[in-house]
Chains A and B, each alone.
Chain A
């Protein structure tokens, strides 16, 4: 746990943790509202958004890419709603039609344009590049108080930290609205809470988290983090407050354990190369969910017997 750890592992772990928490917070509400797959759809349409942003601006820079991705997420949500209403199609199928088409368009545009000069490809978009976000200037733990070294921290860290803080803040500020609108939309409207706006705000927040996390860690982790930690937390408690804390804990645990296992695990088995950190974080979150499904104190439906079917 010396200088090498600070230089190579500290920032990726922090970025992983912030991404996981930023996704897990809105994920809690998406799961309770049966909208878990919105996260899936959003993480697919991020690619066309980034490609179009690159085409328009011609540079691979953070701000245009993030706004392109966020724009694509909003376009996707609007399109899903339009297809659902115009065609009277059930939401799952409408989602499937829209996000696959947008993803296909993204891949086609990417193939059609010359992006060989820049680092922009589908695999990178899927897998992220957590391992490469290292802190070059760090020389040890004392670098944490050294302003020159701190200036060399990767930008991704600040962006994802800011997004994570923003989402945590919004969750706190709109807590009562979110809670009431999630559990009883009709009651929420009756007491004057703008339930529809809360729903849209939640989706926008999810998109924001997906886009920011995607920038750092790729889209696999985004889907897994939207769903696995909150789902596992849902099996641990009946109270929304505790569920949120559980989900944050599970997200953090997945990110830290996943990164460590990916970076150092293969070495313990005698292999020389690390494996994908993003993939391993998703794997660990899945293992946590699996354990929660087997042993979580509140895993059964109320009224169901121990053997599942009522």
Chain B
């Protein structure tokens, strides 16, 4: 625990601190840019982009060795991965635009094929004399152990740039992901903005390759955005909440994985992100499962209360156990089911409300108002006092519910 505390407070060494900061920035950038994908309902495009980076890594390594270089230069490898990821993106776009295949088929095809090509290239690299120690497999699942200081700096700077680019592009991206037709009507080039969005996603993917690995980077783009959606109904807020959630998961995950050898960075970051998701799924204030259950219970209570009071007013016996319990707890009926004076008063009020609604629906012309009758809404919330007086005039004066 102390080592975890050390890592979180950046005391666990210079490299670990840089990795944690880099992961935090990357998580923020991924969460924020992933939001646009999620709102545009194209979350899984990022999975294809991520898998399409693999052939680029292999090709870049082979080319750098052929040119007499080291082959393990992180910038070179990342540039290669960006090139094939972009190619993959264009292929998806081309397939969906030019053929009758749907986008999901295009995504799956690009994902599977590019990954296959990547694996072929990796086996080629392994047979090269310079390739035996290349460690390119670490791009599959990410590896922070044994990372060079330059690599860490590349990741930290890249993460910061991605955050900046997201901030710069937030307005057009929000507009397009929220309502692309409106954006097109305003004269924005939706296709180009879509490509910018994908470019941002690609940048995040490429920067995250070494840290999280290409199989799991998609989680950083999707999970924070989905999580943030639970907490707000405003698109501008989703972006920054997703960024914050992603940043937290990245930072905590990287710090945690620095504390023990068998805690791989990528999976830990993803699991931290998933934990935040599960918490939000259940406990988010409006859209969470708990909130939905409570809302349902409240609605149920309102329906039972109303129906119970109507039964009292009509002098019908109540048999339903939940209604009886509800009315008893409010002191509206006695334990034997006989209404108390307060219960009778409430019953008269509810019965009169119901009669007023009946008149209103007969004589009022505006279906927008009478359509709000659901057997629950008090009429005072829909009609003005003048109108209600008119209904009362037709209804006659209130009468007491006489005992039989």
A residues near B (Cβ < 8 Å) are 31, 34-37, 39-40, 44, 83, 86-90, 92-97, 100-101, 103-105, 107-108, 111-112, 122-123, 126-127, 220-221, 223-228, 231, 234-235, 262, 266, 271-276, 278-283, 285-286, 289, 293, 296, 298-302, 304, 308-309
Q: Which residues from chain B contact A271 at a C-beta distance below 8 Å?
A: 124, 127
- Which of B38, B113, B271 lies in contact with A104, CB distance below 8 A? B271
Q: B140, A126: Cβ atoms under 8 Å?
A: yes
How close is B211's CB to chain A, nearest CB, in angstroms? Answer: 13
Q: B97, A282: Cβ atoms under 8 Å?
A: no
Which residue, B95, B111, B119, B263, has most C-beta atoms of chain A within 10 A?
Answer: B119
Q: Which residues from chain B contact A88 at a C-beta distance below 8 Å?
A: 287
Per the 8 Å Cβ criterion, residues 250-271 of B in contact with A are 262-264, 266-268, 270-271
How close is A264's CB to chain B, nearest CB, in angstroms? Answer: 14
How close is A225's CB to chain B, nearest CB, in angstroms? Answer: 8
Q: Residue of A at shortest CB range from B98?
A: A308
Q: A97, B98: Cβ atoms under 8 Å?
A: no
Q: A228, B119: Cβ atoms under 8 Å?
A: no
A/B pair count, beta carbons within 8 Å: 217
Q: A108, B100: Cβ atoms under 8 Å?
A: no
Determine if B223 is an interface residue (Cβ-Cβ < 8 Å).
yes
Q: Residue of B at shortest CB range from A272?
A: B127
- Which of B113, B119, B219 lies in contact with A101, CB distance below 8 A? B219
Q: A39, B43: Cβ atoms under 8 Å?
A: no
- Which of A86, A97, A286 lies in contact with B112, CB distance below 8 A? A286
Besides A283-B116, A293-B94, 8 new A-B residue pairs in contact (Cβ under 8 A), listed by A number: A40-B111, A93-B222, A108-B263, A223-B112, A235-B101, A279-B115, A285-B113, A286-B113
14 pairs across A/B with beta carbons < 8 Å? A40-B111, A92-B43, A93-B226, A97-B219, A100-B270, A108-B264, A123-B137, A227-B105, A227-B112, A234-B105, A281-B116, A282-B116, A286-B109, A293-B94
Q: Which residues from chain B contact A92 at a C-beta distance below 8 Å?
A: 41-44, 104
Q: Which residues from chain B contact A123 at a C-beta distance below 8 Å?
A: 137, 140
Per the 8 Å Cβ criterion, residues 229-249 of B in contact with A are 229-230
Chain B residues touching A, majority SS: helix
Q: Which residues from chain A contact B266 at a C-beta distance below 8 Å?
A: 104, 107
Q: Which residues from chain A contact B29 at a C-beta distance below 8 Å?
A: none
- Which of A101, A279, A308 lies in contact with B116, CB distance below 8 A? A279
A87 to B137, CA, bound (A): 36
Q: B270, A101: Cβ atoms under 8 Å?
A: yes
Determine if B123 is an interface residue (Cβ-Cβ < 8 Å).
yes
How close is B294's CB to chain A, nearest CB, in angstroms? Answer: 14
Q: A308, B97: Cβ atoms under 8 Å?
A: yes
A40 to B222, CA, bound (A): 16
Q: B277, A278: Cβ atoms under 8 Å?
A: no
How close is B217's CB to chain A, nearest CB, in angstroms? Answer: 9
Q: Which residues from chain B contact A309 at a C-beta distance below 8 Å?
A: 97
A28 to B203, CA, bound (A): 34
Q: B108, A276: Cβ atoms under 8 Å?
A: no
A93 to B228, CA, bound (A): 13
Determine if B122 is an interface residue (Cβ-Cβ < 8 Å).
yes
Q: A231, B105: Cβ atoms under 8 Å?
A: yes
Q: B267, A104: Cβ atoms under 8 Å?
A: yes
- Which of A87, A111, A273 lies in contact with B287, CB distance below 8 A? A87
Q: Which residues from chain B contact A298 at a C-beta distance below 8 Å?
A: 100
Q: A282, B105: Cβ atoms under 8 Å?
A: no
Q: Which residues from chain B contact A86 at a C-beta distance below 8 Å?
A: 281, 289
Q: Which residues from chain A contact B97 at a C-beta distance below 8 Å?
A: 308-309
How close is A242's CB to chain B, nearest CB, in angstroms? Answer: 16
Q: Which residues from chain A contact B267 at a C-beta distance below 8 Å?
A: 103-105, 107-108, 111
A36 to B102, CA, bound (A): 9
Q: B113, A93: Cβ atoms under 8 Å?
A: no
Q: Which residues from chain B contact A35 at a C-beta distance below 8 Å?
A: 104
Q: A275, B219: Cβ atoms under 8 Å?
A: no
Determine if B83 is an interface residue (Cβ-Cβ < 8 Å).
no
Known: A93-B43, A123-B137. A299 touches B287 (CB 8 A): no
Q: A108, B268: Cβ atoms under 8 Å?
A: yes
A192 to B270, CA, bound (A): 44
Determine if B218 is an interface residue (Cβ-Cβ < 8 Å).
yes
Q: Mark B108-152, 1 if CB is under 8 A from A, else 0.
A: 110111111111101110010000000001001100000000000
A309 to B116, CA, bound (A): 30
Q: Which residues from chain A contact B111 at a C-beta distance below 8 Å?
A: 40, 223
Q: Which residues from chain A contact B215 at a C-beta distance below 8 Å?
A: 44, 103
Which residue, B99, B226, B268, B289, has most C-beta atoms of chain A within 10 A?
Answer: B99
Q: B117, A83: Cβ atoms under 8 Å?
A: no
Q: B38, A93: Cβ atoms under 8 Å?
A: yes
How close is B109's CB to chain A, nearest CB, in angstroms? Answer: 5
Q: Residue of A at shortest CB range from B225?
A: A93
A36 to B117, CA, bound (A): 20
A105 to B101, CA, bound (A): 33
Q: Which residues from chain A contact B113 at a C-beta distance below 8 Å?
A: 224, 228, 282-283, 285-286, 289
How close is A40's CB to chain B, nearest CB, in angstroms? Answer: 6
Q: B287, A101: Cβ atoms under 8 Å?
A: no
Q: Which residues from chain A contact B41 at a C-beta distance below 8 Å?
A: 90, 92-93
Q: Residue of B at shortest CB range from A308?
A: B98
Q: Which residues from chain A contact B124 at a C-beta distance below 8 Å?
A: 266, 271, 275
How close is B3's CB to chain A, nearest CB, in angstroms? Answer: 17
Which residue, A275, A280, A281, has most C-beta atoms of chain B within 10 A?
Answer: A275
